[in-house]
Amino acid sequence: MNAHRSISLSIASFILGLVALPAHAQATEGDVDGDGKSDLAWYYDSTTDLQVLRSDGSNFNGVMVQKPAGVPTWGSLADVNGDGKSDLVWYYKSLGVVQTMMSDGSTFNGAFAAKPVGDPIWAATGDVNGDGKADLAWLYATGDLQVLFSNGSTFNAGISHKPVGIPTWGSLADVNGDGKSDLVWYYNSQGVVQVMMSNGTTFNGAFSQKAVGDMSWAATGDVNGDGKADLAWYYGAISRVRVFFSDGSNFNGGLSHTMASNPSWGALEDVDGDGKSDLVWYDRGQSLVHVMMSDGVAFAGAWSAKPVGDPYWAGGGNSPGALGVGYPLL
Protein backbone atom coordinates (compact mmCIF):
# COMPACT_ATOMS: atom_id res chain seq x y z
CA MET A 1 0.00 0.00 0.00
CA ASN A 2 1.52 3.33 -0.95
CA ALA A 3 1.55 6.29 1.42
CA HIS A 4 -1.01 8.21 -0.57
CA ARG A 5 -3.51 5.38 -0.37
CA SER A 6 -2.73 4.79 3.27
CA ILE A 7 -3.46 8.43 4.08
CA SER A 8 -6.71 8.34 2.11
CA LEU A 9 -7.74 5.26 4.01
CA SER A 10 -6.81 6.92 7.30
CA ILE A 11 -9.03 9.86 6.46
CA ALA A 12 -11.81 7.56 5.34
CA SER A 13 -11.54 5.57 8.55
CA PHE A 14 -11.70 8.79 10.53
CA ILE A 15 -14.90 9.82 8.82
CA LEU A 16 -16.36 6.38 9.46
CA GLY A 17 -14.94 6.50 12.98
CA LEU A 18 -17.07 9.49 13.81
CA VAL A 19 -20.17 7.46 13.11
CA ALA A 20 -18.88 4.21 14.60
CA LEU A 21 -17.38 4.91 18.01
CA PRO A 22 -13.73 5.72 17.23
CA ALA A 23 -10.96 4.04 19.18
CA HIS A 24 -8.47 6.74 18.38
CA ALA A 25 -7.47 10.27 19.18
CA GLN A 26 -9.22 13.41 18.09
CA ALA A 27 -7.53 16.74 18.28
CA THR A 28 -8.86 20.09 19.33
CA GLU A 29 -7.62 22.82 21.57
CA GLY A 30 -8.16 24.72 24.74
CA ASP A 31 -6.94 26.80 27.59
CA VAL A 32 -8.74 25.01 30.38
CA ASP A 33 -7.53 27.12 33.31
CA GLY A 34 -7.68 30.50 31.55
CA ASP A 35 -4.07 31.56 32.13
CA GLY A 36 -3.52 32.25 28.43
CA LYS A 37 -1.43 29.13 27.90
CA SER A 38 -2.99 26.23 26.07
CA ASP A 39 -3.35 23.02 27.95
CA LEU A 40 -3.54 19.50 26.69
CA ALA A 41 -6.43 17.17 27.46
CA TRP A 42 -5.76 13.47 27.26
CA TYR A 43 -8.49 10.89 27.69
CA TYR A 44 -7.93 7.21 28.40
CA ASP A 45 -10.95 5.04 27.71
CA SER A 46 -9.35 2.08 29.52
CA THR A 47 -9.59 3.94 32.84
CA THR A 48 -12.11 6.62 31.69
CA ASP A 49 -9.73 9.20 33.16
CA LEU A 50 -9.45 12.59 31.55
CA GLN A 51 -6.11 14.18 32.35
CA VAL A 52 -5.59 17.84 31.65
CA LEU A 53 -1.89 18.58 31.37
CA ARG A 54 -1.65 22.24 32.28
CA SER A 55 0.98 24.29 30.52
CA ASP A 56 3.13 26.59 32.65
CA GLY A 57 4.82 27.98 29.53
CA SER A 58 7.76 25.62 29.55
CA ASN A 59 6.27 22.26 30.42
CA PHE A 60 3.00 20.44 30.94
CA ASN A 61 2.66 20.25 34.70
CA GLY A 62 -0.20 20.38 37.17
CA VAL A 63 -2.29 17.48 36.04
CA MET A 64 -6.03 17.84 36.56
CA VAL A 65 -7.81 14.49 36.60
CA GLN A 66 -11.50 14.04 35.94
CA LYS A 67 -13.80 11.12 35.27
CA PRO A 68 -16.54 12.22 32.90
CA ALA A 69 -19.61 10.00 32.72
CA GLY A 70 -19.26 7.78 29.69
CA VAL A 71 -16.89 7.48 26.76
CA PRO A 72 -17.47 10.11 24.07
CA THR A 73 -17.83 9.53 20.36
CA TRP A 74 -16.41 12.94 19.56
CA GLY A 75 -15.01 15.74 21.65
CA SER A 76 -13.61 19.22 21.60
CA LEU A 77 -12.21 21.78 24.01
CA ALA A 78 -13.87 25.13 23.42
CA ASP A 79 -14.84 28.16 25.46
CA VAL A 80 -18.60 28.01 25.05
CA ASN A 81 -19.49 30.63 27.66
CA GLY A 82 -16.74 33.12 26.88
CA ASP A 83 -15.13 33.24 30.32
CA GLY A 84 -11.66 32.52 28.93
CA LYS A 85 -11.63 28.91 30.10
CA SER A 86 -12.09 26.14 27.58
CA ASP A 87 -14.88 23.74 28.29
CA LEU A 88 -15.32 20.12 27.38
CA VAL A 89 -17.79 19.55 24.56
CA TRP A 90 -18.52 15.86 24.11
CA TYR A 91 -20.87 13.95 21.86
CA TYR A 92 -22.36 10.68 23.03
CA LYS A 93 -23.62 8.59 20.14
CA SER A 94 -25.66 6.34 22.42
CA LEU A 95 -27.68 9.36 23.58
CA GLY A 96 -27.44 11.39 20.36
CA VAL A 97 -26.62 14.48 22.41
CA VAL A 98 -23.81 16.94 22.86
CA GLN A 99 -22.96 17.34 26.51
CA THR A 100 -20.89 20.28 27.70
CA MET A 101 -18.93 20.29 30.92
CA MET A 102 -17.91 23.78 31.93
CA SER A 103 -14.44 24.47 33.22
CA ASP A 104 -14.12 26.65 36.32
CA GLY A 105 -10.35 26.51 36.04
CA SER A 106 -9.86 23.54 38.29
CA THR A 107 -12.65 21.13 37.39
CA PHE A 108 -15.40 20.51 34.86
CA ASN A 109 -19.02 20.88 35.88
CA GLY A 110 -22.39 20.53 34.21
CA ALA A 111 -24.64 23.60 33.89
CA PHE A 112 -24.95 23.66 30.11
CA ALA A 113 -28.04 22.15 28.49
CA ALA A 114 -27.49 18.84 26.68
CA LYS A 115 -28.27 19.31 23.00
CA PRO A 116 -29.81 16.58 20.84
CA VAL A 117 -28.05 16.69 17.50
CA GLY A 118 -27.74 13.16 16.08
CA ASP A 119 -24.72 11.59 14.44
CA PRO A 120 -22.39 13.84 12.45
CA ILE A 121 -19.88 12.81 9.82
CA TRP A 122 -17.75 15.80 10.81
CA ALA A 123 -17.95 18.26 13.66
CA ALA A 124 -15.98 21.19 15.03
CA THR A 125 -16.16 24.06 17.47
CA GLY A 126 -15.28 27.70 16.81
CA ASP A 127 -16.72 31.16 17.28
CA VAL A 128 -18.59 31.47 14.00
CA ASN A 129 -20.62 34.58 14.90
CA GLY A 130 -17.82 36.31 16.78
CA ASP A 131 -19.59 36.90 20.09
CA GLY A 132 -16.78 35.35 22.14
CA LYS A 133 -18.62 32.08 22.73
CA ALA A 134 -17.59 28.99 20.81
CA ASP A 135 -20.26 27.57 18.53
CA LEU A 136 -20.84 24.06 17.26
CA ALA A 137 -20.61 23.04 13.59
CA TRP A 138 -22.25 19.74 12.76
CA LEU A 139 -22.14 18.14 9.33
CA TYR A 140 -24.63 15.42 8.50
CA ALA A 141 -24.27 12.62 5.97
CA THR A 142 -26.79 14.46 3.76
CA GLY A 143 -24.18 17.23 3.31
CA ASP A 144 -26.20 19.64 5.44
CA LEU A 145 -24.14 21.73 7.83
CA GLN A 146 -25.75 23.11 10.95
CA VAL A 147 -23.99 25.71 13.05
CA LEU A 148 -25.47 25.98 16.52
CA PHE A 149 -24.69 29.22 18.32
CA SER A 150 -23.83 29.13 21.98
CA ASN A 151 -25.57 31.66 24.20
CA GLY A 152 -23.47 30.62 27.17
CA SER A 153 -25.90 28.09 28.57
CA THR A 154 -27.14 26.15 25.53
CA PHE A 155 -26.66 25.76 21.79
CA ASN A 156 -29.38 27.32 19.65
CA ALA A 157 -30.11 27.29 15.93
CA GLY A 158 -27.63 29.44 14.02
CA ILE A 159 -26.64 28.83 10.40
CA SER A 160 -27.96 26.18 8.02
CA HIS A 161 -25.65 25.75 5.06
CA LYS A 162 -25.08 23.19 2.36
CA PRO A 163 -21.49 23.41 1.12
CA VAL A 164 -20.49 21.71 -2.10
CA GLY A 165 -19.34 18.20 -1.33
CA ILE A 166 -18.23 16.35 1.77
CA PRO A 167 -14.75 17.18 3.06
CA THR A 168 -12.11 14.66 3.99
CA TRP A 169 -10.81 17.00 6.68
CA GLY A 170 -12.01 20.25 8.14
CA SER A 171 -11.48 22.86 10.79
CA LEU A 172 -13.07 26.04 12.04
CA ALA A 173 -10.46 28.79 12.18
CA ASP A 174 -10.46 32.56 11.82
CA VAL A 175 -8.30 32.85 8.73
CA ASN A 176 -8.96 36.56 8.06
CA GLY A 177 -8.77 37.79 11.65
CA ASP A 178 -12.22 39.36 11.86
CA GLY A 179 -13.08 37.42 15.02
CA LYS A 180 -15.37 34.99 13.24
CA SER A 181 -14.29 31.41 12.68
CA ASP A 182 -14.31 30.35 9.07
CA LEU A 183 -14.80 26.92 7.58
CA VAL A 184 -11.54 25.37 6.35
CA TRP A 185 -12.20 22.22 4.39
CA TYR A 186 -9.97 19.83 2.53
CA TYR A 187 -11.25 17.80 -0.39
CA ASN A 188 -8.85 14.98 -1.19
CA SER A 189 -10.55 14.29 -4.52
CA GLN A 190 -9.21 17.67 -5.68
CA GLY A 191 -6.24 17.94 -3.32
CA VAL A 192 -7.27 21.45 -2.32
CA VAL A 193 -8.21 23.35 0.79
CA GLN A 194 -11.33 25.46 0.42
CA VAL A 195 -12.20 28.23 2.85
CA MET A 196 -15.72 29.47 3.35
CA MET A 197 -15.67 32.76 5.21
CA SER A 198 -18.15 33.43 7.98
CA ASN A 199 -19.83 36.82 8.08
CA GLY A 200 -21.70 35.82 11.23
CA THR A 201 -24.88 34.76 9.50
CA THR A 202 -23.65 32.64 6.58
CA PHE A 203 -20.56 31.29 4.83
CA ASN A 204 -19.26 32.81 1.62
CA GLY A 205 -16.40 32.18 -0.80
CA ALA A 206 -13.76 34.89 -1.40
CA PHE A 207 -10.69 32.98 -0.28
CA SER A 208 -8.41 31.33 -2.85
CA GLN A 209 -8.31 27.58 -2.97
CA LYS A 210 -4.98 26.13 -1.93
CA ALA A 211 -3.52 23.02 -3.52
CA VAL A 212 -1.86 21.07 -0.73
CA GLY A 213 -2.31 17.36 -1.49
CA ASP A 214 -2.98 14.59 0.97
CA MET A 215 -1.54 14.81 4.44
CA SER A 216 -1.10 12.51 7.41
CA TRP A 217 -2.56 15.08 9.77
CA ALA A 218 -3.37 18.76 9.62
CA ALA A 219 -4.13 21.57 12.02
CA THR A 220 -5.02 25.24 12.09
CA GLY A 221 -3.55 27.89 14.37
CA ASP A 222 -1.91 31.30 14.23
CA VAL A 223 1.73 30.30 13.91
CA ASN A 224 3.10 33.75 13.00
CA GLY A 225 0.90 35.65 15.42
CA ASP A 226 -0.69 38.10 12.98
CA GLY A 227 -4.23 37.28 14.12
CA LYS A 228 -4.99 35.14 11.07
CA ALA A 229 -5.12 31.37 11.49
CA ASP A 230 -2.58 29.47 9.45
CA LEU A 231 -2.64 25.95 8.08
CA ALA A 232 -0.23 23.21 9.13
CA TRP A 233 -0.02 20.19 6.89
CA TYR A 234 2.06 17.17 7.85
CA TYR A 235 3.41 15.01 5.05
CA GLY A 236 4.32 11.70 6.67
CA ALA A 237 6.10 10.31 3.63
CA ILE A 238 8.76 13.04 3.88
CA SER A 239 8.43 13.65 7.67
CA ARG A 240 7.82 17.31 7.03
CA VAL A 241 5.28 19.74 8.34
CA ARG A 242 4.53 22.72 6.16
CA VAL A 243 2.79 25.79 7.50
CA PHE A 244 0.92 27.97 5.04
CA PHE A 245 0.43 31.49 6.40
CA SER A 246 -2.91 33.13 5.80
CA ASP A 247 -2.88 36.69 4.47
CA GLY A 248 -6.65 36.93 4.83
CA SER A 249 -7.46 35.91 1.30
CA ASN A 250 -4.99 33.11 0.56
CA PHE A 251 -2.63 30.64 2.16
CA ASN A 252 0.90 31.49 1.09
CA GLY A 253 4.33 30.03 1.66
CA GLY A 254 5.11 29.99 5.35
CA LEU A 255 7.57 27.61 6.84
CA SER A 256 8.70 24.06 6.43
CA HIS A 257 10.00 21.91 9.25
CA THR A 258 11.42 18.42 9.10
CA MET A 259 10.35 16.41 12.10
CA ALA A 260 12.98 14.60 14.13
CA SER A 261 10.50 12.02 15.27
CA ASN A 262 7.39 10.64 13.67
CA PRO A 263 4.22 12.34 14.90
CA SER A 264 1.13 10.16 15.14
CA TRP A 265 -0.97 13.16 16.05
CA GLY A 266 -0.36 16.87 15.94
CA ALA A 267 -1.95 20.14 16.91
CA LEU A 268 -1.19 23.83 16.86
CA GLU A 269 -1.61 25.46 20.23
CA ASP A 270 -0.13 28.47 21.94
CA VAL A 271 1.35 26.77 24.96
CA ASP A 272 3.37 29.78 26.20
CA GLY A 273 0.74 32.44 25.51
CA ASP A 274 2.88 34.66 23.26
CA GLY A 275 0.20 34.76 20.56
CA LYS A 276 2.01 32.32 18.28
CA SER A 277 0.70 28.80 17.98
CA ASP A 278 3.27 26.18 18.76
CA LEU A 279 3.55 22.67 17.40
CA VAL A 280 2.41 19.93 19.75
CA TRP A 281 2.61 16.36 18.65
CA TYR A 282 2.41 12.84 19.96
CA ASP A 283 4.86 10.12 19.00
CA ARG A 284 3.08 6.86 19.52
CA GLY A 285 6.25 4.75 19.29
CA GLN A 286 7.79 6.76 22.14
CA SER A 287 4.52 7.43 24.03
CA LEU A 288 5.75 11.02 24.32
CA VAL A 289 4.19 14.41 23.68
CA HIS A 290 6.62 16.88 22.15
CA VAL A 291 6.40 20.64 21.76
CA MET A 292 8.28 22.88 19.36
CA MET A 293 7.87 26.59 19.96
CA SER A 294 7.02 29.00 17.15
CA ASP A 295 8.97 32.25 17.00
CA GLY A 296 6.85 33.39 14.06
CA VAL A 297 9.22 32.24 11.34
CA ALA A 298 10.33 28.79 12.46
CA PHE A 299 9.74 26.08 15.02
CA ALA A 300 12.58 26.03 17.51
CA GLY A 301 13.10 25.54 21.23
CA ALA A 302 11.82 22.11 22.13
CA TRP A 303 10.15 21.41 25.44
CA SER A 304 10.94 18.39 27.55
CA ALA A 305 9.00 15.49 26.11
CA LYS A 306 6.09 14.46 28.29
CA PRO A 307 5.39 10.76 28.82
CA VAL A 308 1.78 9.81 28.21
CA GLY A 309 0.12 6.68 26.88
CA ASP A 310 -2.03 6.32 23.78
CA PRO A 311 -5.08 8.49 24.20
CA TYR A 312 -8.57 7.59 23.10
CA TRP A 313 -9.16 11.28 22.63
CA ALA A 314 -6.87 14.28 22.98
CA GLY A 315 -7.37 18.02 22.81
CA GLY A 316 -5.39 21.24 23.13
CA GLY A 317 -4.70 24.71 21.69
CA ASN A 318 -6.09 28.24 22.05
CA SER A 319 -5.49 30.28 18.91
CA PRO A 320 -8.45 32.53 18.17
CA GLY A 321 -11.16 30.44 16.64
CA ALA A 322 -8.78 27.78 15.46
CA LEU A 323 -10.24 24.52 16.56
CA GLY A 324 -9.14 21.24 15.12
CA VAL A 325 -10.93 18.05 14.32
CA GLY A 326 -10.07 14.47 14.83
CA TYR A 327 -7.80 12.09 13.04
CA PRO A 328 -6.90 8.51 13.71
CA LEU A 329 -3.47 7.91 15.12
CA LEU A 330 -1.17 6.80 12.35
Shortest distance (Å) from residue 202 CB to Ca ion: 13
Residue window 115-154: x/- pattern of binding to Ca ion, with contact defined by CB under 5 A: ------------x-x-x-x-x-------------------
Interface with Ca ion, residue 83, by CB under 5 A: no
CA dist., res. 244 & res. 255, Å (int): 7
Nearer to Ca ion, 24 or 37 (CB): 37
Residue range at the interface with Ca ion (CB under 5 A); choices 94-102, 171-179, 185-193, 301-309: 171-179
Footprint of Ca ion on 177-236 (CB under 5 A): 178, 180, 182, 222, 224, 226, 228, 230
User: What is the nearest approach in angstroms of Ca ion to the Cβ of residue 18?
Assistant: 23
Is residue 100 a contact point for Ca ion (CB under 5 A)? no
Q: Interface with Ca ion includes 37 (CB under 5 A)? A: no
CA 200, CA 273: separation in Å to the nearest integer? 27
Nearer to Ca ion, 119 or 274 (CB): 274
- In angstroms, the CA 82 to CA 51 distance is 22
Decide if residue 31 touches Ca ion (CB under 5 A): no
CB of 100 to Ca ion, least distance (A): 13
Which residues contribute to the site for Ca ion (CB under 5 A)? 127, 129, 131, 133, 135, 174, 176, 178, 180, 182, 222, 224, 226, 228, 230, 270, 272, 274, 276, 278
